[in-house]
């Protein structure tokens, strides 16, 4: 029956503040931050304090109360996801307040990341910036690939002595790290700081000899000396010989340091003078050696930078640092342009300011004019590895506080008061917020019955502690679910992604659904590992590791006994099958050799994506995946690998080895933080326990948070090069041929500074993790440990924490166990094929998609693989400022708001959109709608068809005299000369049928369904349905939907760009080749073949095999 849509904002209670009606009450500190919109303001916003809501409200009130245009406000956020959320919330808030035009204007608003803003500026002023106007922004992966190629070029012409001293791998890490660090500090063309001469060097050798002689005389004066003094005298005696060496290595001076102990004897002024002279002499020695290696390292750094820049130029690409640096330089050197953007934005809002680097802050400051509103929290600064500098935020905060331009949001509305009490006690509120009183909890609720904070400790007795901890965590989560918690409300957070899979396996053993986000989760999924092993073996059959992984995988399915025999035969270079193979193993091995050899011959001739697809079909691995629990997601993971392969092929050609190198880089994580999640078949609504790193969870919240793997010791980096903020330079000098390195120049001091900064950030990371929890917080790790659990367990208060300890079992770590898969084959398919969830609710658009191509319907609607973005949907029409999709949305919004009694052309709409609306207003159909007794727009409907629920939304429903219902559907499609009636018959026949049934089911005696193409409003296409036709119409519609409801998903007989554009199966999972799916629409006069045999001749089948894969794989019986 027809059902009117409910519009929530009009039904909610509102409170009026100034000129804006709001649907929530603000605290005093929130309201103060919202209302202080003039001038500059820094807002210290703690976790869960509602900072995003404050940002949204400031934006909205700036528009509605202060009269600013939406695009006169610049809002900078840290991630694309955060920018999208902010834009959506601003739009929603404006719509709630009835500001429809302003809500629509948010599409062009300057709400983006800092990189998005820079790209927008550079595209507008590309020539002034000296860059290609059509530049592309390189993601971290592609930029990393170019960087690696550039370094390979640079190292090839580097001094061999430098490579011999450090090794190419260590040099790569050192140069790329220094390059990134220096660029983040503002150096467009990074170079190493010049060496600073040693102060007061003078005759350092003579001074050391004199100091050694004086101290020897002092220590040797007493008739009796202790053992320590005698050891000191021995060392002093070596000074003359060592000082005289011409090639003195700094490390050789360590033997001259005074031994410890013996109280005052070795702390006299003479001892102090000797130590100072020795340090000065060592500094002089380090300076000499550094003077030899410094020019080589500096040359390599500069050469790498030049080659990297050239490769990016050749690709017309800019990396993220380029965007920042070029935009900053452009604004700083062009005063007129800087003034333009300064005047362009009446207000600037910056979120997560604590995570900015010097270039980003300088860029924002260049266009700010005492109108910057910045939000941040020093305690949530956790991106030091991306060169974020929390000191910048703190220094700016101190400066603004002195001017009274600093405010706070302290009240946490997210977490239970008991959780907040534990967090504040653990980290020390006075240390977190110096000089501030601890605020009351934001949530008012009864006390929890049991402590909502738990500490789960595993006694660390052997190497199996992590698996034991994972099982312990899984058991606790199982208990929470049994008590009523939903899996999707629980998250496991870890410091690193390395061992997330162990925790996932422990959950899966208990039947708990999981979803791994980021880290190495995707790359360590069994199906992806199997397919990567297959590709590696294809590329190099002598790669034994890949070959044995492939043989053990379900693609081949050899037993462990067979693998042992195969390995022995290979060692003995034995031809043919190894002796002693079981009959089934021998058959599998023979089949493998046959198809594997034939596939190797296709290398370079077919796309990598096709190689994967062929392997799936040849081996039956697709069947096995679907037969397993979560088969759809496993299948989607392989589909994602195919998509990555296709993207690589399009960018770099059919280079399998290059693709595998890229896979290795992504799987290892490398220097990239953007790591792969599992393919999101079910999306974020999946009812499963999430597993992710703490960095991934930034900005999120969960009912139950488990912070696990607290026994992991922090990773300490020992770079070859350290550069200080004030130009200090530290090097690790390597002596050729020894493999040993010693710190030199300012290295040790810079190292100590870095270690303290990393320790402080480590504490902030776990503060962020713990403040994600709403209802329950669980901390888990082993004891004893040098990991963070050591200081966390000590810092946790005695009260309010439920502490539990278990003993780690002595069984081996499950993570190292070897799986023993058995593979189904084509001759022996698996006994059960996993049946995907069949659709029981169908919209008319879904039904139309099914009729056009059942296989695409399956991939998108059942498996949930999202469509790709077809070029047609992205490209703006030639005479329109918006894309076809955007135009359709805009037209429908304007028509929904159109006043039929007092119609007029919409103001501010693009010219072509305004023309469409104005043309429709002058049509006879418009006059008929205006004269109707009742008019309803955006009307939802639903009715049962057999066991399925058919749903949809009608543009306009008009009630006319005599029980007649008029249903109008607007079409903004460009006809390009086509006949409207022919287009409706071809494209919208199902829609017309569904709409007619919806009206009849709602009680109308007669329903007229009209499709009006707004290009030609005087040529509406009409069809009339009567009550006595209901049964016939239902039979017709049920016939169209029956296949979908039975689970039959056959591929279209007529592939073409109109049917296949944007399909995620195109060019890979679909058996039609690209040249068929990308062709123009087939001749509509051509009769549609009734069968596969009719569709293809034997000659055609030789090139394009029948679509047996889709027919078998997706017909559910």
158-162, 378-382, 444-448, 604-608: the lowest-pLDDT one = 444-448
Residue 210: predicted pLDDT: 92
Residue 135: predicted pLDDT: 92
pLDDT tens across 1009-1045, in order? 999 999 899 999 999 999 899 888 888 888 877 777 6
Residue 1071: predicted pLDDT: 67
Distance CA 415, CA 440 (A): 12
Residues pairing with 953 in the sheet: 940
Residue 939: predicted pLDDT: 84
Share of the chain above pLDDT 90, in %: 32
Do the beta carbons of residue 818 and residue 1016 sit within 8 Å?
no
Q: Is 1057 a residue whose pLDDT tops 80?
A: no
Mean pLDDT for the stretch of residues 567-575: 69
Mean pLDDT for the stretch of residues 366-381: 92
Do the beta carbons of residue 1010 and residue 1021 sit within 8 Å?
yes
- Most confident range (mean pLDDT) of 133-137, 328-332, 495-499 is 328-332
Reduce the DSSP state of residue 193 to 3 states and report it.
coil
Q: Is 4 left (phi over 0), alpha (psi -120 to 50) or beta?
A: beta
Do the beta carbons of residue 491 and residue 704 sit within 8 Å?
yes
What are the two backbone dihedrals, phi and then psi, of residue 786, each rounded to the nearest 5 degrees? -95, 5
Q: Which among 520, 512, 506, 510 is positioned nearest to 458, based on CA atoms?
A: 506
Mean pLDDT for the stretch of residues 573-586: 75
The size of the chain, in residues, is: 1117
Instruction: Look up residue 901 and give its DSSP letter.
Output: S
pLDDT tens across 836-856, in order? 444 456 666 777 788 888 888
Residues pairing with 455 in the sheet: 779, 803
The DSSP element (H or E) to which 272 belongs, if any, is helix 269-314
Residue 1039: predicted pLDDT: 83
Angstrom distances, CA of residue 361 to CA of 134, 348, 349, 391, 393:
27, 13, 13, 12, 9
Domain ranges of the chain: 30-132+321-413, 204-289, 454-518+685-801, 526-668
Q: Which among 612, 607, 650, 638 is positioned nearest to 535, based on CA atoms?
A: 612
Q: How confident is the model at residue 777 (pLDDT cuts 50, 70, 90)?
A: very high
Secondary structure (DSSP) of 794-808: HHS-SSSEEEEEEEP
Residues pairing with 515 in the sheet: 690
Do the beta carbons of residue 737 and residue 492 sit within 8 Å?
no
CATH architecture of 454-518+685-801: 3-Layer(aba) Sandwich (3.40)
Q: Examine domains 30-132+321-413 and 526-668 and report if their fold is the same.
A: no
Q: Is 15 a residue whose pLDDT tops 50?
A: no
Higher pLDDT, 285 or 817: 285
Q: How confident is the model at residue 820 (pLDDT cuts 50, 70, 90)?
A: very low
At CB < 8 A and 24+ separation, what contacts does 1070-1078 make?
1070/855, 1070/856, 1070/1110, 1071/1104, 1071/1105, 1071/1106, 1071/1107, 1071/1109, 1071/1110, 1072/1104, 1072/1107, 1073/1104, 1076/1104
Q: Is the pTM of this model over 0.95?
A: no
Residue with tokens 């429903």: 957
Buried b (16+ CB within 10 A) or exposed e, 947-965: ebebbbebbbbbebeeebb
pLDDT tens across 753-767, in order? 989 998 899 999 999
Residue 1115: predicted pLDDT: 29
Residue with tokens 């509406």: 1020
Secondary structure (DSSP) of 33-48: HHH--SS-EEEEE-TT
Residue 434: predicted pLDDT: 66
Angstrom distances, CA of residue 209 to CA of 275, 712, 966:
12, 48, 107
Distance CA 466, CA 1113 (A): 40
Residue 485: predicted pLDDT: 92
Do the beta carbons of residue 917 and residue 905 sit within 8 Å?
yes
Higher pLDDT, 265 or 1022: 1022
Mean pLDDT for the stretch of residues 146-174: 89
Q: How confident is the model at residue 9 (pLDDT cuts 50, 70, 90)?
A: very low
Q: How confident is the model at residue 875 (pLDDT cuts 50, 70, 90)?
A: very low
pLDDT tens across 184-193, in order? 999 999 999 9
Instruction: Look up residue 1028 and give its DSSP letter.
Output: G
Helices (H), 97-226: 100-105, 114-124, 126-129, 140-155, 160-166, 168-184, 204-220
Q: How confident is the model at residue 81 (pLDDT cuts 50, 70, 90)?
A: confident
Q: How confident is the model at residue 722 (pLDDT cuts 50, 70, 90)?
A: very high
Distance CA 264, CA 1034 (A): 103
Do the beta carbons of residue 384 and residue 407 sit within 8 Å?
no
Residue 826: predicted pLDDT: 33
Distance CA 1105, CA 1103 (A): 6
Residue 629: predicted pLDDT: 61
Q: How confident is the model at residue 111 (pLDDT cuts 50, 70, 90)?
A: very high
Q: What share of the chain is helix, strand, coil (3-state, %, to 5)?
A: 50, 15, 35
Mean pLDDT for the stretch of residues 916-941: 88
CATH T-level topology, domain 526-668: PCRA; domain 4 (1.10.486)
pLDDT tens across 466-524, in order? 888 888 999 999 999 999 999 999 999 998 887 788 888 888 888 888 888 765 556 76
Distance CA 278, CA 256 (A): 8
Mean pLDDT for the stretch of residues 75-79: 90
Q: Is 105 a residue whose pLDDT tops 80?
A: yes
- Most confident range (mean pLDDT) of 862-866, 870-874, 1005-1009 is 1005-1009
Other CB atoms closer than 10 Å to residue 56's CB: what's the count? 23
Mean pLDDT for the stretch of residues 63-86: 91
The DSSP element (H or E) to which 492 belongs, if any, is strand 490-494
Residue 574: predicted pLDDT: 58
Residue 769: predicted pLDDT: 94
Mean pLDDT for the stretch of residues 32-48: 92
Q: How confident is the model at residue 463 (pLDDT cuts 50, 70, 90)?
A: low
Residue with tokens 């304090």: 49
Mean pLDDT for the stretch of residues 635-647: 82
Residue 572: predicted pLDDT: 66
H helices then E strands: how many in the chain? 46, 27
Q: Is 920 a residue whose pLDDT tops 80?
A: yes
Yes or no: is domain 30-132+321-413 CATH 3.40.50.300?
Answer: yes
Mean pLDDT for the stretch of residues 390-417: 91
Secondary structure (DSSP) of 367-422: H-SS-EEEEE-GGG---GGGT--HHHHHHHHHHHHHTT-EEEE----SS-HHHHHH
Higher pLDDT, 575 or 887: 887
Q: Is 449 a residue whose pLDDT tops 60?
A: yes
Buried b (16+ CB within 10 A) or exposed e, 853-892: bbbbbbbbbbbbbeebeeeeeeeeeeebebebebbbebbe
Residue 821: predicted pLDDT: 36
Mean pLDDT for the stretch of residues 682-698: 78
Q: Is 1104 a residue whose pLDDT tops 50?
A: no
Residue with tokens 């006390």: 447
Distance CA 551, CA 932 (A): 72
Mean pLDDT of the chain: 80
Secondary structure (DSSP) of 562-595: HHHHHHHHHHTT--SSPTT--HHHHHHHHHHHHH
């Amino acid at each position: 029956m027809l059902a009117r849509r409910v519009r929530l904002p009009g039904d909610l209670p509102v409170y009026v503040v100034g000129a804006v009606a709001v649907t929530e009450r603000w605290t005093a500190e929130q309201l103060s931050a919202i209302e202080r919109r003039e001038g500059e303001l820094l807002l210290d916003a703690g976790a869960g304090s509602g900072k995003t809501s404050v940002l949204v409200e400031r934006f909205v009130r700036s528009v509605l109360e202060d009269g600013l245009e939406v695009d006169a406000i610049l809002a900078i956020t840290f991630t694309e996801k955060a920018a999208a959320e902010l834009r959506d919330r601003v739009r929603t808030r404006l719509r709630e307040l009835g500001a429809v035009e302003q809500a629509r204007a948010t599409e062009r608003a300057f709400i983006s990341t800092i990189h998005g803003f820079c790209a927008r500026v550079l595209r507008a002023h590309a020539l002034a910036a000296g860059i290609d106007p059509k530049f592309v922004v390189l993601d971290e992966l592609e930029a990393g690939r170019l960087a690696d190629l550039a370094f390979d070029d640079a190292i090839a012409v580097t001094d061999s002595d430098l490579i011999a001293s450090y090794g190419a791998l260590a040099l790569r890490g050192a140069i790329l790290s220094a390059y990134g660090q220096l660029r983040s500090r503002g150096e467009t063309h990074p170079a190493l700081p010049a060496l600073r001469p040693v102060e007061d060097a003078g005759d350092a050798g003579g001074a050391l000899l004199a100091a050694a002689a004086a101290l020897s005389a002092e220590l040797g004066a007493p008739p009796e000396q202790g053992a320590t003094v005698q050891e000191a005298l021995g060392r002093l005696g070596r000074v003359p010989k060592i000082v005289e060496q011409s090639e003195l290595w700094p490390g050789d001076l360590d033997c001259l340091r005074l031994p410890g102990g013996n109280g005052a004897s070795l702390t006299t002024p003479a001892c102090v003078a000797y130590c100072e002279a020795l340090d000065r002499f060592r500094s002089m020695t380090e300076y000499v050696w550094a003077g030899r290696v410094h020019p080589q390292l500096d040359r390599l750094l500069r050469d790498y930078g030049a080659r990297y820049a050239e490769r990016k130029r050749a690709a017309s690409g800019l990396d993220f640092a380029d965007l920042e640096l070029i935009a900053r330089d452009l604004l700083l050197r062009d005063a007129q342009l800087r003034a333009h953007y300064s005047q362009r934005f009446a207000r600037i809002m910056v979120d997560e300011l604590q995570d900015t680097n010097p270039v980003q802050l300088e860029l924002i400051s260049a266009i700010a004019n005492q109108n910057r509103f910045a939000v941040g929290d020093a305690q949530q600064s956790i991106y030091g590895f991306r060169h974020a500098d929390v000191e910048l935020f703190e220094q700016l905060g101190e400066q603004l506080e002195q001017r009274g331009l600093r405010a706070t949001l302290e009240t946490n509305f997210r977490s239970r008061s008991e959780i907040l009490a534990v967090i504040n006690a653990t980290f020390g509120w006075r240390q977190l917020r110096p000089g501030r009183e601890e605020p009351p909890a934001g949530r008012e609720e009864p006390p929890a019955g049991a402590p909502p904070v738990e500490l789960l400790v595993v006694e660390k007795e052997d190497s199996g502690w992590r698996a034991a901890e994972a099982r312990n965590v899984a058991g606790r989560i199982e208990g929470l679910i049994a008590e009523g918690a939903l899996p999707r409300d629980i998250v496991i957070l870890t410091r690193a992604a390395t061992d997330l899979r162990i925790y996932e396996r422990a959950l899966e053993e208990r039947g708990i659904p999981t979803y791994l986000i980021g880290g190495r989760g995707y790359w360590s999924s069994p199906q992806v590992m199997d397919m990567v092993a297959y590709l590696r073996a294809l590329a190099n059959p002598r790669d034994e590791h890949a070959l044995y992984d492939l043989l053990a995988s379900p693609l081949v399915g050899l037993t462990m006994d067979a693998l042992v025999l195969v390995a022995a035969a290979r060692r003995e270079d034995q031809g043919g099958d190894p002796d002693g193979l079981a009959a089934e193993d021998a058959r599998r091995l023979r089949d493998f050799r046959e198809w594997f050899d034939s596939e190797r011959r296709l290398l370079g001739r077919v796309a990598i994506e096709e190689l994967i697809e062929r392997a799936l079909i040849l081996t039956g691995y697709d069947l096995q995946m679907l037969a397993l629990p979560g088969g759809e997601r496993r299948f989607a993971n392989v589909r994602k690998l195919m998509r990555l392969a296709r993207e690589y092929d399009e960018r770099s050609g059919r280079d399998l080895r290059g693709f595998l190198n890229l896979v290795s880089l992504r799987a290892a994580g490398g220097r990239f933080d953007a790591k792969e999640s599992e393919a999101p078949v079910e999306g974020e609504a999946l009812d499963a326990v999430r597993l992710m790193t703490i960095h991934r969870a930034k900005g999120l919240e969960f009912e139950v948070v488990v912070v696990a793997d607290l026994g992991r010791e922090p990773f300490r980096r020992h770079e070859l090069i350290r550069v200080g903020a004030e130009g200090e330079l530290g090097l690790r000098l390597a002596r050729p041929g020894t493999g040993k390195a010693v710190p030199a120049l300012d290295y040790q001091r810079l190292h100590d500074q870095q270690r303290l900064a990393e320790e402080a950030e480590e504490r902030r990371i776990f503060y962020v993790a713990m403040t994600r929890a709403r209802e329950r917080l669980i901390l888990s790790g082993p004891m004893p440990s040098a990991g963070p659990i050591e200081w966390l367990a000590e810092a946790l208060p005695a009260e309010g924490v439920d502490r539990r300890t278990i003993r780690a079992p002595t069984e081996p770590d499950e993570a190292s166990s070897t799986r023993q898969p058995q593979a189904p084959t084509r001759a022996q398919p698996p006994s059960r094929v996993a049946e995907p969830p069949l659709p029981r609710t169908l919209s008319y658009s879904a039904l139309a998609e099914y009729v056009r191509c059942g296989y695409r319907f399956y991939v998108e609607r059942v498996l949930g693989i999202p469509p790709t973005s077809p070029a047609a949907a992205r490209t703006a029409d030639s005479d329109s400022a918006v894309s076809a999709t955007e135009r359709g949305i805009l037209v429908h919004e304007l028509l929904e708001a159109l006043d039929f009694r007092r119609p007029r052309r919409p103001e501010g709409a693009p010219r072509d959109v305004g023309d469409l609306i104005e043309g429709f207003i002058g049509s006879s159909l418009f006059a008929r709608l205006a004269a109707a007794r009742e008019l309803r727009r955006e009307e939802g409907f639903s009715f049962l068809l057999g066991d399925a629920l058919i749903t949809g939304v009608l543009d306009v429903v008009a009630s006319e005299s005599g029980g007649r219902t008029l249903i109008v559907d607007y079409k903004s499609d460009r006809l390009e000369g086509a006949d409207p009636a022919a287009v409706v018959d071809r494209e919208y026949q199902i829609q017309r049928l569904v709409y007619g049934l919806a009206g009849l089911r709602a009680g109308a005696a007669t329903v007229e369904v009209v499709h009006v193409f707004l290009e030609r409003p005087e040529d509406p296409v009409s069809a009339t349905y009567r009550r006595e036709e209901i049964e016939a119409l239902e039979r017709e519609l049920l016939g169209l939907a029956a296949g979908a409801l039975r689970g039959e998903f056959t591929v279209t007989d007529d592939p073409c760009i109109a049917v296949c554009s944007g399909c995620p199966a195109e060019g890979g999972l679909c058996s039609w080749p690209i040249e068929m799916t990308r062709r123009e629409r087939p001749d509509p006069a051509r009769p549609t073949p009734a069968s596969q045999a009719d569709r293809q001749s034997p000659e055609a089948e030789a090139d394009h095999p029948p679509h047996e894969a889709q027919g078998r794989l997706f017909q559910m019986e």
